[in-house]
Amino acid sequence: MNIKYIEDKRLFKIDTEATSYVIGIVGKEGFVGHAYYGESIEDDDVTYLLRIFEGPFTPDTNERDRLSFYDCFPFEYPTHGIGDFRESALRIEDEAGHYSNNLKYKSHMIYKGKKGLAGLPATWGNEEDSMSLELTLSDYEANIDVVLTYSIFEGVDAVVRSAKIINNSGKAVFLTKAASASIDLDNKDFDKINLYGSWARERHINRTPVSYGIQGMYSKRGEPGHQEHPFTCLLEKNATQTQGEVYGMDLIYSGNFRTITDRNQFDLVRLMTGINPEDFRWKLENGDTFVTPEAVLVYSNEGIGGMSRSFHDLYREHLIRGYYRDKKRPILINNWEATYFDFNEQKLISIVDEASKLGIEMLVMDDGWFGNRFDDNSSLGDWFVNEDKLKGGIKYLVDEVNKRGMKFGIWFEPEMISPVSKLYEAHPEWAIHVEGRKPGLARNQMVLDYTRKDVRDYIYGLIKNVLSSANIEYVKWDMNRPLSDIGGAEIAKDRLGEFMHRYTLGVYEVMERLVTDFPKLLLENCSGGGGRFDAGMLYFGPQIWCSDDADAIERLVIQEGTELIYPLSAMGAHVSDCPNHIVGRVTPFRTRGHVALAGTFGYELDVTRIPEEDRNMIPAQIEMYHKYNDLVRTGDYYRIASYAQNGKFDCWQVVSKDKTTALVTCVLVRRSPNTRSRNIKLQGLACDKRYRLLNEDGSEYINGMAGEEKADRVYYGLTLMNAGINVTEAWGDNQSMLIYVKEV
Ligand code: GLA
């Protein structure tokens, strides 16, 4: 890991372990261009990659064709209005309404360590394990500076970037675009991957060719949403899980985002991410600064899998914080699918009585414990315990749960207000609305104006009271509708374009207070399932509920998309009720367990009412969780087969960092008649280590050689990776199995 300025060549070179990122200053005026990003290179002069001297558009010698230069130069942070007609990263309007800006090199600073971003989630590091470059560009005519910050981390192949805009123009200006990162790459016949979906089927993988013009994903919902995701990757046409060049870009942000590719006339592809410019207009007074969210760039020449592993390492080691960051999480049972709103303290205690015997470690009391909440039509905002439902109050219930050896967690939806609530009676103006217009409801609720400090203080005060009233060790922070009808009683007319970003900053502020006041609290984010599964949220809580659809087969697709970027340790996954409440599918309890073991693991069912046969399997599942979770949480993830692609069979593998153990999970979704065993190639093992293959009960995995009683075989890692192993088709659909690979 190193960052240097190579003075005679006017190059900045950012080197991670296996990649180089090079920025060049060129021309008499000091244009700043993106020269190279890819596999490591030496400190040579690669300014030729910027093609500035190829003519005929060389600005130093050809003033008459300056616009042609602007329209093809790979700007490191492209501005608007001057003649680069591709998508711009920065657009500033001055008081007269002009919107042309041009940035040139001004100064730079390279230092050890990594600074935080005020009010925003961001990666973190110290002087030993990280390094940063602050590259200041200036619009000398307008007196506006832009500081581009790049940081890297020891042993992680990722570069994080953000931009700070400083207005010294003497007058107020309006930012109407301020991307976090933009990078121009020579097109290598790229495909791109985005994640799309809907409620209960989030983060499905979509791979398409990069075509001319702009393609992209965005959100205007005030959160990323179920439908879109702030991630894009560009990959060579022939790139697979295991080989080929891949460029990934993710955004550490939980609000309106936009991520695009823009392929131009010279086949240069501009890849950009940041706050969605639509509905964004930020007033920057003279002397003020604006800081964008942080973007993460990952390059891998080991295919998609290499990219995923770099994201996982970065997020586990330099984004997620707090008490549970490196710890096994308590196995929880959540009562949502068990009872919905129909519960009281006795019902919950009966669940705990059974759950504690089975080895489950925490009860999470979901929606319905507060105000007058008997269905989803009322009471959001009235965060007072309903003592008719919970006799003796929260303290009594939590004590009873603790007495039975279990922890207690609770559900909140802190950003919401029901029109039927005490809070709305007292403060209708606290709900986001446009004066004089009837706002649209979703799930019969409105959103609180989190741009307001009084609103945030009031709600946080209520949450804090509840959490301080008993031994509550976990919070599920939910958010069940997007933002619409944007307006508020307090925000100034010329600052309405700041609302969406300010809302997100408001949410971050309250979350920060929560994790600061309750440092041992386990915070699990949720948004109607996986509507706000983003890197921003991971800065506050180490895990996020992946989807309201916990059907094991739907989860294969959702979890594959999630794991593309996020570590398994972050993925909220439970064994849920059957037939599944969302798709009605019947899957074996065993398969539900195996699929949930890929995430945080827990239960979402009424343990007192499930078939005895299933209940009897819980202790063994829990034993597996304890046996495998360190590996799953901290290991390297490899995708072996994708049910989403082949429609039949799913397989993934986690390998410990020291390569002594691995866990392979196979799900045989659709059985075919009259087939031979399937051969799968393991990945990520040490070539020269020798391994034994084991079933989940510890017996030897016979490797497709049924009939052999005890083979007692060991295999070199090289063999398991190149010749693979054989997996025999199970009897029936939706069957699964684990293979534990252990060094001898
Ligand atoms: C959302 C969550 C669910 C549950 C309900 C409660 O849909 O995703 O897990 O908490 O809200 O209303």
Here the tokens at position 284 are 């920057």
Q: What is the pLDDT of residues 247-293, one digit of tens each?
A: 999 999 999 999 999 999 999 999 999 999 999 999 999 999 999 99
For 578, the 3-state DSSP assignment is coil
Report the nearest atom of ligand 1 relative to the CA of 411.
10
Contact 38, 53 (CB under 8 A): no
Tell whether the model's pLDDT for residue 605 goes beyond 70. yes
pLDDT of residue 705: 60
Predicted confidence band at 422 (pLDDT cuts at 50, 70, 90)? very high
497: buried, middle or exposed (CB in 10 Å: 19+, 13-18, 0-12)?
Answer: buried
Taking CA atoms, 461 is separated from 130, 457, 512, 514, 522, in Å, by 37, 6, 14, 10, 19
pLDDT of residue 57: 78
Contact 273, 258 (CB under 8 A): yes
Q: What is the pLDDT of residues 9-47, one digit of tens each?
A: 999 999 999 999 999 999 999 999 999 999 999 999 999
Protein residue whose Cα sits closest to atom 6 of ligand 1: 367
pLDDT of residue 730: 82
Helix (H) or strand (E) holding 358: helix 345-358
- Give just the sign of the alpha carbon dihedral 343, 347, 349, 354: negative
226 conformational bin, left if phi > 0, alpha if psi -120 to 50, beta if neither: alpha
pLDDT of residue 346: 98
Mean pLDDT of 100-116: 98
pLDDT of residue 601: 98
Tell whether the model's pLDDT for residue 704 goes beyond 70. no
Give the integer Cα–Cα distance in Å for 133 and 115.
Answer: 11
pLDDT of residue 359: 98
Ligand 1 pocket test target in 202, 335, 336 with most atoms within 8 Å of CB? 336
Give the integer Cα–Cα distance in Å for 344 and 355.
Answer: 17
345 alpha carbon to ligand 1 midpoint, in Å? 19
Predicted confidence band at 708 (pLDDT cuts at 50, 70, 90)? low
Tell whether the model's pLDDT for residue 298 goes beyond 70. yes
478 alpha carbon to ligand 1 midpoint, in Å? 7
415 alpha carbon to ligand 1 midpoint, in Å? 14
Q: What percent of the chain has pLDDT over 90?
A: 94
Report the nearest atom of ligand 1 relative to the CA of 548.
8
Protein residue whose Cα sits closest to atom 1 of ligand 1: 528
Q: In what order do the strands lie in the sheet with 715-716?
A: 636-641, 649-655, 661-668, 735-743, 690-694, 715-716
Q: What is the pLDDT of residues 465-524, one digit of tens each?
A: 999 999 999 999 999 999 999 998 889 999 999 999 999 999 999 999 999 999 999 999
Mean pLDDT of 525-542: 98
| Beta-strand pair 332-334/362-365 | parallel
Residues 6 or more apart whose Cβ sits within 8 Å of residue 81:
88, 91, 98, 99, 100, 101
Q: What is the pLDDT of residues 657-703, one digit of tens each?
A: 999 999 999 999 999 898 889 999 999 999 999 999 999 999 999 87
Protein residue whose Cα sits closest to atom 12 of ligand 1: 367
Residues with C-beta less than 6 Å from any ligand 1 atom: 336, 366-367, 376, 411, 478, 480, 526, 528-529, 545, 548
Q: What is the pLDDT of residues 719-743, one digit of tens each?
A: 999 999 999 878 899 999 999 999 9
Q: Give the position of tokens 């920057």.
A: 284
Active site residue 478: yes
Predicted confidence band at 709 (pLDDT cuts at 50, 70, 90)? low
Helices 345-358 and 618-634, packing angle to 10 deg: 80
Length of the chain: 744
Q: Give the position of tokens 């003649």.
A: 83
528 alpha carbon to ligand 1 midpoint, in Å? 5
Here the tokens at position 581 are 């409440």
Q: Going along 331-412, which residue ranges are E strands? A: 332-334, 362-365, 407-412
For the residues of 96-110, what is the DSSP string, one character each? T-------EEEEEEE
For 224, the 3-state DSSP assignment is coil
Q: What percent of the chain has pLDDT over 70?
A: 99
Report the nearest atom of ligand 1 relative to the CA of 529.
8
Of the listed ranges 46-50, 339-343, 583-587, the least confidently predicted one is 46-50
Contact 409, 450 (CB under 8 A): no
Q: What is the pLDDT of residues 148-163, one digit of tens each?
A: 999 999 999 999 999 9
Give the integer Cα–Cα distance in Å for 415 and 380.
Answer: 9
Taking CA atoms, 347 is separated from 234, 340, 363, in Å, by 51, 12, 12
Q: Which of 184, 313, 478, 551 is catalytic?
A: 478
Helix (H) or strand (E) holding 114: none
Alpha helices in 449-568 (DSSP H): 453-468, 499-517, 535-538, 552-563
Q: Report the amino acid identity of residue 381.
A: G
Protein residue whose Cα sits closest to atom 11 of ligand 1: 528
586: buried, middle or exposed (CB in 10 Å: 19+, 13-18, 0-12)?
Answer: exposed
DSSP 8-state code for residue 346: H
525 alpha carbon to ligand 1 midpoint, in Å? 11
For 560, the 3-state DSSP assignment is helix
For 622, the 3-state DSSP assignment is helix
503 alpha carbon to ligand 1 midpoint, in Å? 21
pLDDT of residue 707: 55
Tell whether the model's pLDDT for residue 712 goes beyond 90. no
Give the integer Cα–Cα distance in Å for 492 and 554.
Answer: 45
Contact 667, 734 (CB under 8 A): yes
Here the tokens at position 304 are 């998609």
HEC profile of 15-44: ECCCEEEEEEEECCCCEEEEEEEEECCCCC
pLDDT of residue 731: 87
Average model confidence (pLDDT) for the chain? 96
Q: What is the pLDDT of residues 375-390, one digit of tens each?
A: 999 999 999 999 999 9
Q: Which of 367, 548, 551, 650 is catalytic?
A: 548
Q: Whose CA is closest to 418, among 381, 375, 459?
A: 381
